[in-house]
Amino acid sequence: MQIPWDKLNKFNSLQVFQFLRFGTFFLISILLAKVAILYQHEYGLRLISQYENLMLVSSSSTFFWVAAIGNTLIPYYNNADENDKGKVLFNTFILLLVFSLIAAVVIIIIGYVSGKNQNLFQMFSIVVLLNTPTYIVDYLFYLKGKYKSLIIWGIVTFLAQILLLCLPLYYKQSLNLAINLLLVLALIKFNYTIILLMKYGTITVQKKITFDFMKKATPVMFSILLAGSMEYINSYIVEFKFSDEEFAMYRYGARELPIFLILANTLSSVYSGEIAKLNTAGSLEVGLNNLKNSSRKLMRWLFPSTILLMFLSPYMFKYAYNTELTEGHKIFNIYLLLIISRMVYPQTVIMGIMKSRIFYLISSNYLIIYCVLSFWFLSLFGLNGIAYATVVAYIVEKIMLAIYCKMQGINYNQYTPVLEHAVYSVITLVAYYFSTIVEMPFL
pLDDT reading at 247 higher than 50: yes
Q: What is the residue-averaged pLDDT of the chain?
A: 83
pLDDT reading at 358 higher than 60: yes
Residue 41, pLDDT score: 47
Q: What percent of the chain has pLDDT over 70?
A: 85
pLDDT reading at 370 higher than 90: no
Q: How far apart are the first and last CA of the chain?
A: 37
Determine the average pLDDT of the residues in 147-151: 91
- Quick check: 340 and 420 in contact, CB under 8 A? no
Higher pLDDT, 79 or 90: 90
The pTM of this model reads 0.70
244 pLDDT band (50/70/90 cuts)? low
Among 206-215, 316-325, 362-371, top mean pLDDT goes to 206-215
Model pLDDT for residues 3-55, shown as the tens digit of each residue: 566 777 776 787 788 778 877 887 887 787 777 666 654 455 667 777 877 88
Determine the average pLDDT of the residues in 429-439: 88
Determine the average pLDDT of the residues in 313-326: 71
Residue 3, pLDDT score: 58
Residue 418, pLDDT score: 92
The one-letter amino acid at 403: I
Residue 440, pLDDT score: 66
Residue 198, pLDDT score: 92
Q: Which of 12-16, 137-141, 191-195, 410-414 has the lowest mean pLDDT?
A: 12-16
- Look at residues 356, 351, 326 and name the one whose alpha carbon lies nearest to residue 443: 326
Determine the average pLDDT of the residues in 104-131: 87
Model pLDDT for residues 156-200, shown as the tens digit of each residue: 999 999 999 888 888 877 778 888 999 999 999 999 999 999 998
pLDDT reading at 280 higher than 80: no
Determine the average pLDDT of the residues in 336-340: 91
Longest dimension (CA), the chain: 65
- Quick check: 8 and 148 in contact, CB under 8 A? yes
pLDDT reading at 1 higher than 50: no
pLDDT reading at 319 higher than 50: yes
Residue 34, pLDDT score: 73
Higher pLDDT, 236 or 73: 73
